[in-house]
Structures are given as C-alpha cells and as structure tokens.
Structure 1
C-alpha cells in the first residue's frame, strides 16, 4: 500500500515538473552550414505588444469537507513519520476563485493543481497550480504558480513562473493571505494578490 502511494506521488510530481533537458550539439550539413539551435526573433512576429504590469485580486476556496470537496487527498502522509505537519501528503485541487470572500461571490476562475506538505517541522506547502481564468478577456488564459507556502505566516509570497493565452511570457509573484480557516473541517479561504508582467 505504501509503495502504491509513493508511486502515485512520483507520478504527480513527474507530471508537474516542466523540466526539459535539452542537449545541443553542433552538426554540419553537407554544404558546411551549421545548424542553429536558437535564433533571436522580433516579438512582433508573435503579436507581442508593450509589456504591462497588472494586479489581480481574488479569493481561493479550499474545500476539504462535505460531499463535494474541491481539494482531495491523493497521497496520505507516511504512517511511520507520525508528523504533526502531515509531511509527505499530497492534495489535488480544483478550487474556485471568486471576486469576494463568500463562496457565492462571482467566480472568475479555478485554481487547478496540487499542494504537498514539504516540511517536517512546520506546515510548509509546495504549491504547484494554475489559475485558470473564466471571466472576460482572460477567459481561457492561465497563470502558473510554483513555490513555498508557509501556511501560518501572515503573508506568503510565491513566484508566477509563466502562463498561457494573455499571459504568455508572464512573470511576477503572488501574495497569499489567509482570510478564514476552520480548524475542525480544514476548509480555508485565502486572499490572493497577484502582480504580473505580461504582454
């Protein structure tokens, strides 16, 4: 059973990593030309305009209780560790993002991905998620967050490592601030302020 959980964890970590190892070598063609692995291009060829900075603010609802949770455990913590931080556990999420802190507030997207308990001594999470927007001109565009979330710190900062659609070439950071947490159920509402450079 433990082996199956570790295989599952390895599978999800493998899927979440966007690591590409590229090996380059110079190869010459018959006429002596050298193949170029990379070349500069004009950003206008990709319809990229002037870079701008945007601030997004919304609420992230992590619902672990009830009949319709948006956060589910896929790998439990190893029994032998007996850790109060649930070190080693992994949860998959499909959390609603809303304009206000109430769950019935307007939904602007979803946070999809996973978080894992990555510290034995305190509740620190590895967050790997996409903010998939569904509202207005950003509908279908995503921002990708990958970083450390020290849950009990007042404000946690995580990097924006990229995006898609309107957020191609995005970079920036997200600040997470817990708005509400139910210690009995584990449900939480977190305010996110995201600052992003994009085209």
Structure 2
C-alpha cells in the first residue's frame, strides 16, 4: 500500500485511487460515487433478446451516470444497421431514466437515407431472466424507433 496525497493506493498502481470506507463522508452511497462515471459501449443489435437472435447491426457510443441517485444516464450513441433495406445509421441522444418504465431519446439525424431523420426512440430496460439464453448479460434494452426521414 502506498500513500499518494493522503489517498491510499493498494498495490502501488499509479493513476488508480482506492479508498477505504473510513475515508467516505457520512451519507455517501454507491450511486453518489458513480455520479459522472462514463461507460463506453460497442454492442450488437439483434431482433430479439435470445442468443442466436438475428443480428441487425451495432450500437456504439457512451452513457454517463447523470444523477446522484443513480436513476438516470445521459446517452449518446450511433445505431448502425448492417443488413437489409435499413443499412445506414441513426444518431440518438437523451436521458435514460432507469426508475421509470419507459424513457425517450431524440433522433439527431443519421447517415445515408437517414441524413435528415427526425423522431424519437423509446427505451425500456429488462432484467435478463435467463442468463443462459443471454450469455450472462445482466440487463437488456429494448429500443423502438419512431422516425420521419
């Protein structure tokens, strides 16, 4: 254990701050610690939630924990369709609220036939109930797009 400006570093790994619970102020929760944390993703888009469901494209982007209670995430990502008549991309931006049944994201244009696209997407979160069928995925998002282009 090393000490770096009064913050303990376990294992001497520079750049990684590790605190023990005695260093947290009263009322600190995991959600408050996660506030501002950004997660980058590059995920497959499928027709359904089961393993082996047909691949329709990829989603690439990021989301950030944007509330101290952990119930909302600001999302910005691009959906790239790879097959069929939809083979172009859409850009989405908005806040996904995990504590409500459905959130809305704005469609911010796209590429190809979607270059001036306008609309919105609904986002619903589902727990992955059968870990075997979803390859140990903890949470699934269902995204429905309503679009004018």
Mapping of residues 24-173 of structure 1, within 5 Å: 82-85=28-31, 86-139=34-87, 141-173=88-120
Structure with larger Rg: 1
The two structures have a TM-score, normalised by structure 2, of 0.71
**Conserved? CA contact 1:83–1:120, under 8 Å:** no
**Conserved? CA contact 1:143–1:163, under 8 Å:** yes
Q: Which residue does 1:25 correspond to in 2?
A: none
Deviation per CA, 1:55-95: give whole Å up to 9, x if none: xxxxxxxxxxxxxxxxxxxxx9x976844321111111011
How many residue pairs get matched? Answer: 119
Deviation per CA, 1:130-164: give whole Å up to 9, x if none: 0111111222x111111000012111111111111
SS in 1 for 2:30: coil
Q: Which runs of 5+ in 2 are unaligned?
A: 1-15, 130-135
CA distance in 1, matches of 2:124, 2:69: 21
CA RMSD, 1 decimal: 2.3
Q: 1:191 aligns with which of 132, 142, 146?
A: 142
Higher strand share: 2
Q: Which residue does 2:5 correspond to in 1?
A: none
The two structures have a TM-score, normalised by structure 1, of 0.54
SS in 1 for 2:52: coil
SS in 2 for 1:137: helix
| Structure 1 pair 186–100 and aligned structure 2 pair: CA distance change class (3 A) | closer
